[in-house]
Copies of this chain bind each other. A is one copy, B any other.
Amino acid sequence: MKWIVAENYGELSELAAEMVVGEMLTKQKRVNLAITAGTTPIGMYERLTTKVKGKNYLDHVHYYNFDEIPYKSGKQEGITLSDLRRLYFSPAAIAEEQIEILNEKNYQQHDAKIASDGGLDAIVLGIGTDGHYCGNLPGTTRFTDFTTEVPCDERLKKIIVGHFEDPAENPDSYVTLGPRSVMAAKHIILLASGVKKSEAMQRFYHGEVTEAFPASILKMHPNITVIVDKAAGKLI
């Protein structure tokens, strides 16, 4: 595990962007990147947009969303992909052919598709205060799961509903890469910013490997880089 402490959120964002661009620039083959929505990577996407937009020498990069919360009606694209479009794909003008979509219809073929595409070169993850990453919340998936559908009980529905203007769109299930799908990536890049993540990062760093804190498995990966700012890393 490589553990990097950035001075602040701006440096964390710059460093994450450089690491992701590094994955793109140092390989001549197709590059497959799974990326995260959420608030932590906003600064990274701003910087990535500048570095990537209009650069046709980055056409060999393919992007994968790693979870999806669909609209119950199915009338529009799900929450994750919509967020990624807003944060990155649209401002960076990423071509549609470079966007590899995971959704509730194709999730059962997703691990095989990724393998056939050559595997994930890197996956960029955030972490929740409860230790979740992608859609792997405590109590939803087991370490042994590959990409899967997670049924939403009342607890999960309450967590998810905030994503929807119309609560009637709150779905009965969502899909996510499971822990084994994530561990199959060649490089895991985990980002955490802010004092509100400091206890989670303490538990990540020092705590045991347990499904009760899903991200704990990630430190077992042979090639994981963790970037925290000083606030998130203050308890280490």
Contacts and interface: CB of A to CB of B under 8 A. Distances in A.
Interface of A: 2, 4, 15, 18-19, 21-26, 28-30, 51, 57, 115-116, 118-119, 122, 142-144, 179-180, 183-187, 208-209, 211, 217, 219-223, 225
Nearest to A4: B57
A143 B127 CA distance: 20
A30 B29 CA distance: 14
Contact of A219 (B118, B144, B186): B144
B26 A26 contact: yes
B219 A221 contact: no
A4 B142 CA distance: 24
Contact of A143 (B144, B183, B209): B209
Contacts of A211: 209
Contact of A185 (B15, B142, B186, B222): B222
A-B complex: 7 closest residue pairs judged by Cβ atoms:
A22-B22, A143-B209, A4-B57, A19-B25, A22-B26, A22-B25, A183-B220
Contact of A57 (B2, B26, B217): B2
B183 A29 contact: no
Contact of A220 (B29, B30, B57, B220): B220
Contact of A179 (B24, B179, B220): B220
A222 B184 contact: yes
A57 B233 CA distance: 15
B208 A143 contact: yes
Given A57-B4, A143-B209, A144-B209, A186 B222 contact: yes
Contacts of A184: 222
Given A143-B208, A143-B209, A144-B209, A183 B26 contact: no
Nearest to A143: B209
Contacts of A119: 29
